Structure 1
Amino acid sequence: MKFVSKCMVALSTTFALMSAAHAATPADSFQLSPRIKAQAAAKAKPTFVISYHDPALSVAVPMRKGVAAAAKELNVNAVFTGPVGGGAEKQVAELENWITKGVDGIAVSSSSTDALAPVINKAIAAGIPVVTFNTDNPASNRLTFVGQDLAYSGVVMGDTLVKHMGQKGKVLVFTVDAAAEWSKDREKGLRQALAKYPGISIVGLVNTTNEPQQIYAAIENAMLAHQDVNGIVSLDCCSFPAIGQYLKRNGLGGKIPVVGSDLLPQTKELIKNKVLTATISQNPQRQGHDAVVVLNQIYTGGKMPDPHTDTGVQVIDTSNVDQHAAE
């Protein structure tokens, strides 16, 4: 009887795990609206909106190129847009307008999970396919996420910093938007990685904002307040090269390990000159490109995508920087 009881428990556990693995997702029940279905059946050229949370950021340049490339390859209309300077309310208002106009698919990089989830759900309920890219919104009913595992990228940042800094020291962390979901995810991963080393402490999380002069001023103030810092991490594309410029101007280039994100042209040069240590590439051009590809797959064949299209994590440093084009 004990054997039978154990078997029943094992079977129950197995079925529970199988049920969880096959739990219903928004993609399972999603249906294109009659309007979109009719257009697709008639092979009409679709219009997709690719909404990035701040097109003024440098990383948006390769994303826009990826979107344009996919639009040309697939013969679709793809509009790269978003609130210049950022702002969840502005992004929501833009998306509301596109939903009213009746576009055929939307890709969203959310400036805020809470603020964007309702408008994403509204589009899904109207039969307009919505995917997220670059920054996910798992609280919404989006159909899939195209982009990097942001928490894992933070882990890689931490591991890379320790490789160059050692297992003891003080770390400063910079971000252009500490409240953004992408920043919080990377910060979570970074803290997870550094928590393995009792001798390492994060002495500050500095929110620089995304205006160039404010970024530099925030870096300068933080570095003056923490002159004994042993390592620096930038969670974004844009404070990273500014950190390099500060270190270079103050004779600190190459003396403090610095790890950041993306490979902007300035970042590439600063890594080549050994001012910055390493960057974690998220392939933003592919993110823009594949967001359009996934939307077109849904539009043309009703094909539901996998839950996550991972664009990967790659460490770029002096050993391989020349093998990579600036993003």
Structure 2
Amino acid sequence: MNFRFKAVQTLTLLLGITLILCGCMEARTTMETWNQNQEVLSLPSKNDPELTFGIIYPMVNDTYEMITENAEASASDYNIKLIVQAPDEANLEQQIRIMEMMIKQKVDGIAIIPVDSEALIDVIDKAVTSGISVICFESDSPSSKRNAFIGADNYKTGKVIAQTVDNLLGGKGMVLVQSGMPQMLGLTQRLKGFQDYLHEYTEIDVLEVRHNHASEEKAIQQLEEMISAHPHFSALINLDFVSSSSSVLVWKAKGLKRYNVALGLTPYVNQSLENGQITRIISQNEQNWGEAIINTLRSLSQDKTMPEFINTEIIEMHN
């Protein structure tokens, strides 16, 4: 699957986004914002060996294109070739085939968001056993032999989202919840953290939970159905990237003024925050994942010891 890549792929773009965010919104940090560990990494060198890294996404999405641009900008400092692949829609069999292809190509490292953490164990282990470094990001496969996980604690992310909703609603109200693939570990963890917090600390009722299976068309349809069935809901909670962007389209079409809490930061979602379609953004610093992928795989290729969990932290953003 080929991605469309913008012509400008430099760190200047990323710095520009950061400046826009700083000027247009106030960010409340629930954990310290993630910073790259410079002690683990060496400076760029013209004598770096040629490396090939693969990045495998669950499907095509604006958030993943942003991560790819960040990865390309970071890889441009080194002698690194990137192979970026994703199914048109989330598909376990296609992810397995892409992994098998990259193993045959003998790439130096693979970064993958597993659509099913258990079902991908065998092919992840096959890659590691063959000498290829494998890292998971966004969602983990902890029972596999993968070398590291990049992202935030997804259970804590769910609790942070619930705390945000608690603050917005004053501990009472009725909410709708959208999520993506029910078999993806990270999304399951977010939902569990969200539900546990609400149950323990609030009187907020979850009216309905829907899973869009990473389909924007299905996400829009399900959201419209939930709104029709529960017209007096207080807030919508989005636990994945597809739900977040799809909710903006529904909010615009219906002119809704209810609270809408999004997961994931992209320029599009940020603009929707400024325009009022989004009330809060909970981010795991996705805009930095591409850099973290390149630096982690590069360090592993140099046989450096890396932490098993590279925590990119959680932040809450609002106007």
In the other structure, the counterpart of 2:133 is 129
SS at 1:66's partner residue? helix
Q: 1:222 to 1:304 in 2, by over 3 A?
A: same
CA distance in structure 2 between the aligned counterparts of 1:129 and 1:210, rounded to whole angstroms: 27
Letter aligned with residue 290 of structure 1: A
C-alpha distance after superposition, 1:157-215 (max 9, x if no partner): 11001111121121110023233222111111111221123521211111234333332
Q: Is the aligned partner of 1:171 residue 2:183? A: no
Correspondence for 1:148: 152
**What secondary structure sits across from 2:189 in the alignment?**
helix
Instruction: Please say if residues 48 and 78 of structure 2, whose CA atoms lie closer than 8 Å, have aligned partners that are also in contact.
Output: no
Alignment of 1:16-35 (within 5 A): none
Q: Report the counterpart of residue 32 of structure 1 in structure 2.
A: none
1:202 to 201, 206, 230: 206
Instruction: For residue 43 of structure 1, report the CA deviation from its aligned partner.
Output: 5.6
1:307 equivalent to 2:308? Answer yes
Larger radius of gyration: 1
Matched, 1:267 2:288: no
C-alpha distance in structure 1 between counterparts of 2:107 and 2:243, whole Å: 35
Shift of the 224–116 alpha-carbon distance from structure 1 to 2, 3 Å rule, reads same
Say whether 1:117 aligns with 2:118: no
2:38 maps to none
Q: 1:271-302 CA distances to partner (integer Å, 9 max, x unpaired)?
A: 112232101112223112211111111212x1
The one-letter code matched in structure 1 to 2:108 is: D
Among 241, 248, 251, which residue is 2:245 paired with?
241
* Distance (whole Å) between structure 2 residues aligned to residue 198 and residue 313 of structure 1: 22
What is the CA–CA distance in structure 1 between the aligned matches of 2:286 and 2:85, rounded to whole Å? Answer: 15
- Equivalent residue for 1:46, pick from 47, 51, 60: 51
* Partner Cα distance (2:245, 2:106) in 1: 40
What is the rounded CA distance, in whole Å, between the counterparts of 1:265 and 1:291 in structure 2?
A: 21
The correspondence of residues 272-283 of structure 1 with structure 2, limited to 5 A, is 272-283=274-285
Distance in 2 (alpha carbons) for counterparts of 1:143 and 1:211 = 30
8 Å Cα contact 1:65/1:285 also seen in 2 = no
TM-score normalized with structure 2 length: 0.81
The answer to whether the 8 A contact 1:67-1:80 is kept is no
Report the 3-state secondary structure (helix = DSSP H, G, I; strand = E; otherwise coil) of the residue aligned with 2:118: helix
Q: Secondary structure of 1:309's match? A: strand
Unaligned runs of 5+ in 2: 1-46
Task: Answer yes or no: is the 8 Å Cα contact 1:133–1:146 preserved in 2.
Answer: yes
How far apart in 1 are the matches of 2:70 and 2:272? 25
What are the Cα deviations for residues 119-166 of structure 1, in whole angstroms up to 9, with x where unaligned?
111111112111111221111111111112111111111100111112
3-state DSSP class of the match of 2:201? coil
Q: CA RMSD in A?
A: 1.7
Do the aligned residues in 1 keep the contact of 2:265 with 2:287 (CA within 8 Å)?
no
Say whether the 8 Å CA contact 1:161–1:258 is kept in structure 2.
Answer: no
1:71-109 Cα offsets, whole Å, 9 max, x none, are: 111221122223231211110111111112211111111
| Distance (whole Å) between structure 1 residues aligned to residue 287 and residue 88 of structure 2 | 19
User: C-alpha separation between the residues in 1 aligned to 2:210 and 2:192?
Assistant: 15
AA aligned to 2:305 is: M
Tell me which moved more, 43-52 or 104-113. Answer: 43-52
Q: TM-score, length-normalised on structure 1?
A: 0.79
**SS at 1:174 equivalent:** strand
Matches within 5 A, 1:224-235: 224-235=228-239
**Unpaired segments of 5 or more residues in structure 1?**
1-41, 319-327
CA distance 1:225–1:129, change in 2 (3 Å) = same
What code does the residue aligned with 1:263 have?
A: L
Q: Secondary structure at the match of 2:120?
A: helix
1:236-262 per-position Cα deviation (integer Å, ceiling 9, x unaligned):
122223323323433422xx2221111
Q: Is the 1:64–1:285 Cα contact (8 Å) retained in structure 2?
A: no
Amino acid corresponding to residue 231 of structure 1 in structure 2 = A
